[in-house]
Chains A and B, each alone.
Chain A
Amino acid sequence: MMDEHNSQPGQIIEISIDVPTGETSTGGSKFCGEAPCGLSDAGSKSKDARERSASIRKLLIAVVLCVVFMSVEVVGGIKANSLAILTDAAHLLSDVASFAISLFAIWASGWEATPRQSYGFFRLEILGALVSMQLIWLLAGVLVYEAIVRLIHETGEVNGFLMFIVASFGLVVNIIMAVLLGHDHGHGHGHGHEHGHGHDENGHHSHGMTISTPHHHHHEHPEDDHCHGHEDPADHHSHGDHADHHDHEDHAHHHDDHVEPLLDKPTNGPKQKKGKNINVQGAYLHVLGDSIQSIGVMIGGAIIWYKPEWKIVDLICTLIFSVIVLGTTIRMLRSILEVLMESTPREIDATKLEKGLLEMKEVVAVHELHIWAITVGKILLACHVKIMPEANADLVLDNVLNYIKREYNISHITIQIER
């Protein structure tokens, strides 16, 4: 089959081979390293596509909800001629923008690789998540600025009650979306749609003062169509802490404890195998941050409503809660940064890998070992392996490849064997 290559030296032969879909190089074949390429073989592509469509569905529902609530707020704000409601609508708009960016990133990361973009577009997810995080930071700054403006406007048009109502409405909306984005319904359970609709009907039921209450009402009222939702998380280990949630029967304002279990979920993401898509995680963090800030504004509004002289409390609350929000983003920012700097991913122990390679019989040395990730789950490796002069290069290559694939599950490996 390959005999065409045996023609006269110097003759350039163009070989065109039918490229199976998803191949990434400029006209190459289906081999990379004599093993199916983890970046583009059929199995991983369909799994990717499934995960991607699940994430897209979740985000789409969240966007639609957001747009609906935002239009409600805009209409109400124009009718009541209140700046506070309109600013809250603007925050919801920023939510929509961030979700739109995440949606685009998820959709675009499924594009086929091109010769200029030989590794595919998976990195777009990471960049989209980075942009989302920056939006969160920007919004935290804007909120602090607004608190200062509220402080300056001494004319008393600051209506504590109105602030409180608007913030609590925003909080409810954000909690709905947080729950929507946080549950892993997309894994073939098919309850995603019903879940979304269930929440829609029960969305506007309580403007409670503490956050434990609304959350409990969420889970107890639609008990009938919700029980599927809550049996599933018991199986997913990422929702083990969700069970603690339900035991949180006291309605005292322990928002820190409330925040802790929620915070655990995103951190489990990058570490477990079936983690959430990083963009969905980013959207979840965004919504979580909004909820935290709504709490802050609610507290400030309540205090100003109760005692209109203590205006500085609003600013202090907002500052504290903004810092908390920024703290939640730090972990995700760190993992984004590590991927973008092409560093060795945390879950791979490069030293152990090298030691394992050196322990093989014919391997003399290992140079230029580079391990980096394209996106959170897909890892690549490249290194130069120096072998003994009389060894069988092919055999050593096979051994090395099998070892790395078996032990570390790295998708794409390139080994240069030198003597």
Chain B
Amino acid sequence: MEKSDSFKYYYPSEKESQNSWNTGFGLSVSDRRLAFSRQASFDQAREPHTPVSINLNDPAKPLLARSVSNIDIPTGLFYSLDESNKYSGEGNGSAQKFSFMLFVFSILRIMRSGNRYMKRLFVMISLNVAYSTTELVIGLFTGRVGLVSDAFHLTFGCGLLTFSLFAMAASRKQPDRVYTYGYKRLEALSAFTNALFLLFMSFSLAVEGLHAFIQDESEHKHYLIVSAVTNLLVNLIGVWFFRNYARINLVYRNAEDMNYHSVCLHVLADSIRSAGLILASWLLSLGVQNAEVLCLGLVSVAVFMLVMPLFKATGGILLQMAPPRIPTSALSKCWRQINAREDVLEIAQARFWEFVPGHVVGSVSIQVKKGMDDRTTLQFVHGLYHDLGVQNLTVQTDDV
């Protein structure tokens, strides 16, 4: 079909272009910052993908055509009033039903169709829930406040992990009318929420340390050691499950990377906290004064440093910052190259942002001379930015 001619060179060479993009910017296979540094192939990174067409009315169109999107409506033919109602109703309905139904059904589907990490996360969440309920019940019946507070902390963490799980399940949904880029942002959002919770936790630990310093009384009695040890064990199981992501500075290649990283950091921070409690009680038994304040302060600082890079990265995605992996020099080089073309007068603006790590969207606006061949210019600009890894690009050419 004619409309795919302009951009048809996007289809075959995705692997090479992706490799060239990656090696061009210093990400080699043995880069230790990658999550799976032992795997040589880049196959698992998602290739630059375009929204899959779900245009049910026209099965003749190729599914992954570059210029066919699921918002494409053929002129007039299939367009009727109830169809428009169906689409808009479906859009709004799906946006609302999305939260409730998905949540229920995804739990059921997880054990059957989830990938490795989803299953592991599910196991972890169930473990945590079981543990915190027992702790809560025991604490309520024996009247020990420390156990109850620990159980609450765990429950909060469980809630967050459940949200992460839900994000993992929900983000596989295809883009639709309302969420035109898809649902993968949910993973970045859940990573941000996890990072935020960890920051809150570090602040609250610091406040607790201050409190202990002022009050100078030891709140952690000995019966809490058992719970701290069990907590530590449960969280270490979690860290083992997500051991590939147990790193502070991670390079994110796709949305799931962020989510898994945040889950791993969550469990890691919890285990650091339990370890800190155990250390504090041991030091107290040794007779070290202010051991509790020391340990709480240490744990708080450690968790803060652990979480900061993730927080900044997810914050950058949500703030629509320019993609961190495309250096400004590359962008200005493209800028200059476009300006150097004969028929281009100037570039008005070029904006890029990342939907999720690995999926870059851009919009460029250029001023051209009258009567130029727009197709070659468009092809050139698209090709230039596609080599940088920009998947969705909209180029507006204004004749002056």
Q: Which stretch of B115-123, B142-150, B224-232, B257-265 is in the interface? A: B142-150
Encoded as 1 (CB less than 8 Å from any B CB) or 0, chain A from 126 to 147 comes to 1100110011001001001100
Main secondary structure of the interface of B (DSSP, over half): mixed
Does A26 contact B152, Cβ atoms closer than 8 Å? Answer: no
- In the assembled complex, B342 has its CB within 8 A of some CB on chain A: yes
Given A2-B345, A24-B351, does the pair A393, B397 have CB atoms closer than 8 Å? Answer: yes
Q: Which residues of A contact B152 (CB under 8 A)?
A: 141, 144-145, 148
In the bound assembly, the distance between CA atoms of A313 and B331 in angstroms comes to 63
Which residue on chain B has the smallest CB distance to residue A364?
B75
Confirm or deny: A10 has a beta carbon within 8 angstroms of a beta carbon on chain B.
Answer: yes
How far is it, in angstroms, between the C-alpha of A134 and the C-alpha of B200 when the chains are bound?
Answer: 10
Q: Which of A12, A15, A153, A371 contacts B180 (CB 8 A)?
A: A371
Nearest CB of B to A2, in Å = 5
Point out the residues of chain A lying under 8 angstroms from B346, CB to CB: 2, 15, 17, 28-29
**Docked-complex contact A350 and B347, CB < 8 angstroms:** no
- Known interface pairs A28-B350, A119-B320, A351-B87. Does A368 touch B148 (Cβ–Cβ under 8 Å)? no
Nearest Cβ distance between residue B197 and chain A, in whole angstroms? 8
Rounded to whole Å, the gap between the CB of A61 and the closest CB of chain B is 26
Asked whether, in the complex, the Cβ of B398 is within 8 Å of the Cβ of A34, the reply is yes
Q: Could you tell me the distance between the alpha carbons of A29 and B338 in the complex, rounded to whole angstroms?
A: 15
- CB contacts (< 8 Å) of B181 on chain A: these are 341-342, 370, 372
What's the least CB distance linking B89 to chain A, in Å? Answer: 10
By the criterion CB–CB under 8 Å, are B331 and A145 in contact? no
B352 on the interface (CB 8 Å rule)?
yes
Contact, CB under 8 Å: B145 / A152: yes
Query: Does B375 interact with chain A (Cβ within 8 Å)?
Result: yes
Interface residues of B in 134-148 (CB under 8 A from A): 139-140, 143, 145, 148
Q: Is the C-beta of A118 less than 8 angstroms from some C-beta in chain B?
A: yes
Instruction: Tell me the minimal C-beta distance from B363 to chain A in angstroms.
Output: 4
Find chain B residues with CB under 8 A from A118 CB: 322, 349-353
> Across the interface, which residues of A come within 8 angstroms of B392, CB to CB?
368, 370
Contact assessment for B375 and A365 in the assembled complex, using a CB-CB cutoff below 8 Å: no
CB distance from B30 to the nearest CB of A (A): 29
What B residues does A29 contact at CB under 8 A? 346, 348, 367
Contact yes or no, A418 B3, CB < 8 A: yes
A386 within 8 A of B: yes
Determine, out of B15-23, B64-72, B241-249, B299-307, the stretch whose residues face the partner at the interface: B64-72
Instruction: Kindly identify which residue among A17, A131, A342 contacts B355, using a CB–CB cutoff of 8 Å.
Output: A342
B31 part of interface (Cβ distance < 8 Å): no
* A residues near B75, Cβ cutoff 8 Å: 358, 364-365
- Given A117-B321, A152-B145, A342-B181; A25-B351 close (CB under 8 Å): yes
Whether A13 and B340, one on each chain, are in contact in the complex, defined by CB atoms closer than 8 angstroms, is: yes
Q: A201 to nearest B CB, angstroms?
A: 34
Alpha-carbon separation in the docked complex, A24 to B349 (Å) = 8
Closest to A339 in B: B318
Interface residues on A, range: 35 or more
A209 on interface, CB distance cutoff 8 Å: no
Q: Which of A17, A123, A152, A365 contacts B320 (CB 8 A)?
A: A123
B351 near A355 (CB under 8 angstroms)? no
A382, B394: Cβ atoms closer than 8 Å: yes
Residues in B neighbouring A124, C-beta threshold 8 A: 319
Residue of A nearest to B188 (CB): A340
B332 contacts A by Cβ under 8 Å: yes
Point out the residues of chain B lying under 8 angstroms from A417, CB to CB. Answer: 374, 396-397
Closest to B92 in A: A346
Residues of B close to A144: CB separation below 8 A: 152
CB < 8 Å: which of A28, A116, A126, A364 contacts B322?
A116
B290 is an interface residue with CB less than 8 A from chain A: no
Given A26-B331, A116-B328, CB of A154 within 8 Å of CB of B143: yes
Q: Is B26 an interface residue (CB 8 A)?
A: no
Picked from A148, A365, A384, A419, the residue with its CB within 8 Å of the CB of B394 is: A384
Task: Please tell me if A321 contacts chain B, counting CB pairs below 8 Å.
Answer: no
Query: Taking the complex as formed, is A394 at the interface, i.e. its CB lies under 8 A from any CB of chain B?
Result: yes
B319 near A123 (CB under 8 angstroms)?
yes
Complex partner residue of A369 from B180, B339, B375, CB under 8 angstroms = B180
Q: Which residues of B sit under 8 angstroms from A164, Cβ to Cβ?
A: none
Within the complex, the shortest CB–CB distance from B124 to chain A, in Å, comes to 21
Q: What chain B residues lie within 8 Å of A223 (beta carbons)?
A: none
In the assembled complex, B196 has its CB within 8 A of some CB on chain A: yes
Which of chain B's residues have a CB closer than 8 A to the CB of A48? Answer: none
A to B CB contacts below 8 Å, 25 in the list? A2-B400, A9-B342, A25-B347, A29-B346, A37-B349, A118-B353, A119-B320, A119-B351, A119-B353, A121-B319, A124-B319, A148-B148, A152-B139, A152-B143, A340-B185, A342-B179, A342-B181, A343-B179, A351-B91, A355-B79, A358-B76, A367-B71, A368-B392, A414-B364, A416-B396
Q: 3 nearest interchain CB pairs? A: A25-B349, A118-B351, A414-B363
Show the binding face of A for B, using Cβ within 8 Å. Answer: 2, 5, 9-15, 17, 23-29, 31-34, 37, 115-119, 121, 123-124, 126-127, 130-131, 134-135, 138, 141, 144-145, 148-149, 152-154, 337-338, 340-344, 349-352, 354-355, 358, 364-372, 374, 382-384, 386, 393-394, 397, 414-419
Extra contacts, 10 of them, besides A28-B349, A127-B319, A365-B74 (Cβ < 8 A), are: A25-B349, A27-B335, A31-B367, A153-B145, A154-B143, A340-B189, A365-B72, A367-B71, A368-B69, A369-B69
